[in-house]
Structure 1
Amino acid sequence: MDAKSKTVSAKVDNQSKEKFHNHIVHSQRSNAKHNKNKPPPSSSNHNRQSATRKPPISYLIPNPKFHHATDKSSYINSTSDAVDKDSITTVNPVYEYSEEINAQAERDFNQRKQHLIQVCERNKLTGKLSPNAWEFFISPGHGICWCNIFKAASTTWMYYMNILAGYDLKYLQRTVATPLELARKRFPRPSLEDLNEALENSISFLIVREPFERLLSAYRNKMEEGKNTYYKLLGDQIVKKFRTQPQKSDPYGPTFKEFLQFLVQHYKSGGRFDEHWSPIYQFCTPCSINFTLIAKMETFKRDSEYIIRQAGLETLLLNKVPKQKETKISNRSKNNTNHLIPKYFSQIDRELLKEVLNIYQLDFDLFDYDSSKYFSMVQNSRTDVDIKSRMDNDINSRLDFESKSNIYS
């Protein structure tokens, strides 16, 4: 880049940051106003939540708060979530910063936020669920506040958080601890009061993924591969309950169909979901929190660099990323999981698909993803252009239940 280009780029960068700072100060005030009357969890309740315990096997879908109540539990956070220790390296930034890229990113972020606000208002969801502060990572010194959605680039950003926490790169390469365990030692689970304060003074963001791609990724990683003790036991329970006519050709763990049947039954019974497949509208409560930015897996590298630059963390993060032996983020979201979706969804019928969409349709709507394509993949498929309207009552009934039970307070 020549001297003139660098001068223009620096000018654009400074103007964007000043504009962005004003946007944050203005927009985030609404979070504190909305949530200030909602008390944080009591200290006794917080201590009880943090106690070390094994999740009972009979409790098939644990509360996200309690499922990883201790980051040291051998039942949680399998090594498959860890960064590949042989592939962490220092590389050049993926994108060369430019006015054009920055402008397009800003347009996308603004469009995503406006779309989410409209869907929340249209469905009367604004402020309906209590904010789920438990899942946030807050770094006041760096001015960022991240809601960690599992199976949506969580490993990469957990790695970034560990760099911000001050861990040495060589230590991150050799440690047997999971990224989540390390990060939580430096960034403890916040209270609602902590979250409200952070939202006023930080860039808050989440990274979303097409809901069924995320769901399939979670199934393949936690159920099909079956390496983690907790998920092996959970898989055994699913097979016992939903495999009514066992065949010799059946896999040891639950099939995708059995897994979805399990989700539907527990959803109908009011059960709380594991963090790897919990709907985002529950997990990060975006209709109750005024996020500064909504990033997407489809534009993950660009969006991440935009967040990093707006937070002024270029020196710390841009040249230090977990480079996998294969580009896992791109392959997993575009080539691998996406390529396998027709194979897995062809195992289920139309009625089961509709029941699963009752759980995740709101995520499709909030983040502007299209669910209609799945009806051409399932057994006995036909076009269903009115599926969303027929599910409105089910979704609103569920939200009423969650709001009354205040499951994340």
Structure 2
Amino acid sequence: MPGMKWKMVVDSLRGRRRRLPCSLWFLLLFAAGGLVLFIHQQDLSEMVLQQGPGMKLRSSPRQSRETLSTQDRERGKSDNYQTKGVLSSLIPPMQFPHFEAGKQTATPGSREQSRRTSSPVSREQSRRTSSPVSREQSRRTSSPVSREQDMTVVHVSKRQRKLLKTTPRIHHTTDGNSSLSSSTNSSPASFRLASGFFTPDKWKKLADVQIARRQLMKEMCAKYKSSISRTITAHHVRNLFVEDKYKLLYCQVPKAGCSNWKRTLIVLAGLAPNARSIKHDTAHGGRYLRELNTFDRKGIMHRLETYTKFMFVREPLERMVSAYRDKLENPNDYYHNLFGKPIISKYRANPSPEALNTGNGVTFKEFVQYLLDVHRPVGMDIHWDQTNQLCNPCLIDYNFIGKFENMEEESNYLLRLAGAPPNVTLPSFKDRNPADKRTSTDITQKYFSQVSALERQRMYDFYYTDYLMFNYTKPFKDLY
């Protein structure tokens, strides 16, 4: 009996020993968990205090990057934080280079510096302390125009110039065709050019004009040139000049700003400091600019597919009068010998020996007779040949068709599209026969008053395709 009692006491003690460790383990685990939580909180606070200005935080491209003042960050008072918003947005399809958007500028370097000097914690605290109402009010009061005015680009990378072919400004489709977009989302509110300001409305208007001109060209080619061969040969690109740095192809149309465009391309290529320092003979000598037809076929097709192709045109009869005045009316030994002599010999009754010997003094009526003659004594010249024959716009899909009549504005627009430096603009000086007035509508009518109505009609017919393709109106009321 006593042995059984002793056994029961021993068994009860053993049970207590089994239950006691379970309680202790529970208490130990609870204490350990609390200790870990406490240490974790301490580590977080220390981490927050140790984070410096060099820490980076990636945010959505649509959010503003905020910079906190150093003084407020040291105080640690969230209610006194002040932020400087440095606008950042989704990279537009094409950022137009080298413009000023007002007095404030945000260069890529300044944006990077602002991003680095603001810590992630300070940006997050600033975001939290600003109420939804204040953020919404700020968003509403900052207009799209003001946000656009804070954007500026001071450098154009090779990639951006390459994007010129695929941006909303100039689209290239899979079939090689190109189109200009009228969207102004990526254009600044206004930016300074040498000739003044381009507002968004003006920018959009110029883009719309290009769309209309290119569409008209396609319609005219489909109507009048649908049967021509689509194979492009070196002969078709003989008048295209290459500027590889900015990836430009310029089709020269003499008497439509040709000399000054060549000067500008030479400057863009970095071969001259400015256009005025380039003499006329230098611009036309072919020493600095290379014609597209001097490349092999692979080089020709590569540039036609990837470069910006442009041309500038002029009212056809006005251009023809300008060519006559420059090459035949004014002193010019080369043209007088090559064209003056045969023209005088065939179309002048009883020419003097001196005229036959020198070719000087070709009259405008004789020049018109020469152009209208299917059996000309001498061939055509680039200065008075039809523009559609010089540039072949039904074979070559030009991205830009400018007009001499609006040269300053449209040339600046094109140069900004191409990413040219802001100080590079098309010169407007006249270096050949500077004393003569530029050929205008009034001067053109004065010269054509020397010929008959039938000859005026035939001259209009001679350039009729140019009138249609480039949308010029009839120069005389009696034309049909």
Q: Tell me the percent identity.
A: 24
- Equivalent residues of 2:257, 2:404 under 8 A apart: yes
Distance 1:20 1:324 in 2: 31
Q: Does 1:199 align with 2:304?
A: yes
Q: 2:325 aligns with which of 216, 220, 235?
A: 220
Shift of 1:258: 0.5
Distance 1:167 1:28, change over 3 A: farther
Distance 1:3 1:129 in 2: 51
Aligned to 2:470: 367
Shift of 1:352: 1.8
Aligned to 1:305: 412
SS, match of residue 262 in structure 2: helix
Distance 1:220 1:199, change over 3 A: same
- Equivalent residues of 2:262, 2:284 under 8 A apart: yes
Q: 2:369 aligns with which of 243, 246, 261?
A: 261
Aligned to 1:352: 455
Matched residue type, 2:309: S
- Equivalent residues of 2:220, 2:468 under 8 A apart: yes
SS, match of residue 22 in structure 1: coil
Matched residue type, 2:342: Q
Q: When the two structures are superposed, what TM-score results if normalisation uses the length of structure 2?
A: 0.56
Write out per-residue CA displacement over residues 299-353 of structure 1, whole angstroms, 9 at most, x where no aligned residue. 11111111111111134624xx535389x99x966xx432211111011112222
Aligned to 1:30: 176
Distance 1:168 1:19 in 2: 25
Distance 1:188 1:216 in 2: 27
Distance 2:150 2:165 in 1: 15
Matched residue type, 1:241: K
Q: Does 1:234 align with 2:339?
A: yes
Aligned to 1:116: 217
CA RMSD of aligned residues (A): 3.8
Distance 1:202 1:172 in 2: 26
Higher relative contact order (CA 8 A, sep 6+): 1
Write out per-residue CA displacement over residues 383-404 of structure 1, whole angstroms, 9 at most, x where no aligned residue. 34xx4xxxxxxxxxxxxxxxxx
Matched residue type, 1:8: E
- Equivalent residues of 2:310, 2:401 under 8 A apart: yes
Matched residue type, 2:366: E
Shift of 1:8: 2.2
Aligned to 2:206: 105
Is 109-118 or 17-26 further displaced after alignment? 17-26
Distance 2:338 2:164 in 1: 51
Distance 2:278 2:223 in 1: 49
- Equivalent residues of 2:347, 2:369 under 8 A apart: yes
Q: 2:390 aligns with which of 283, 287, 291?
A: 283
Shift of 1:184: 4.2
Rg larger in structure: 2
Q: 2:400 aligns with which of 293, 304, 307?
A: 293
- Equivalent residues of 2:254, 2:382 under 8 A apart: yes
Distance 1:28 1:155, change over 3 A: farther
Q: Does 1:8 align with 2:111?
A: no
SS, match of residue 167 in structure 2: helix
Q: Does 1:21 align with 2:166?
A: yes
Unmatched 5+ stretches in structure 1: 33-90, 377-382, 388-409
Distance 1:150 1:127, change over 3 A: same
Distance 1:138 1:314, change over 3 A: same
Q: 2:265 aligns with which of 139, 142, 161?
A: 161
Matched residue type, 1:244: A
Shift of 1:143: 1.6
Distance 1:171 1:360 in 2: 32
- Equivalent residues of 1:216, 1:341 under 8 A apart: yes
Distance 2:409 2:345 in 1: 44
1:125-136 matches, within 5 Å, as: 125=226, 127-128=228-229, 131=232, 132-136=236-240
Aligned to 2:252: 148
Shift of 1:237: 1.6
Write out per-residue CA displacement over residues 270-311 of structure 1, whole angstroms, 9 at most, x where no aligned residue. 975211011011110001111101001121111111111111
Distance 1:252 1:170, change over 3 A: same
Q: When the two structures are superposed, what TM-score results if normalisation uses the length of structure 1?
A: 0.65
- Equivalent residues of 1:232, 1:253 under 8 A apart: no
SS, match of residue 295 in structure 1: strand
Distance 1:274 1:171 in 2: 26
- Equivalent residues of 2:240, 2:291 under 8 A apart: no
Distance 1:312 1:176 in 2: 26
Aligned pairs, how many? 309
Write out per-residue CA displacement over residues 156-205 of structure 1, whole angstroms, 9 at most, x where no aligned residue. 11110111232233796276843121x54342443454332112211111
Aligned to 2:194: 93
By percentage of residues, which structure has more helix?
1
Distance 1:174 1:356, change over 3 A: closer
- Equivalent residues of 1:275, 1:283 under 8 A apart: yes
Q: Does 1:337 align with 2:445?
A: no
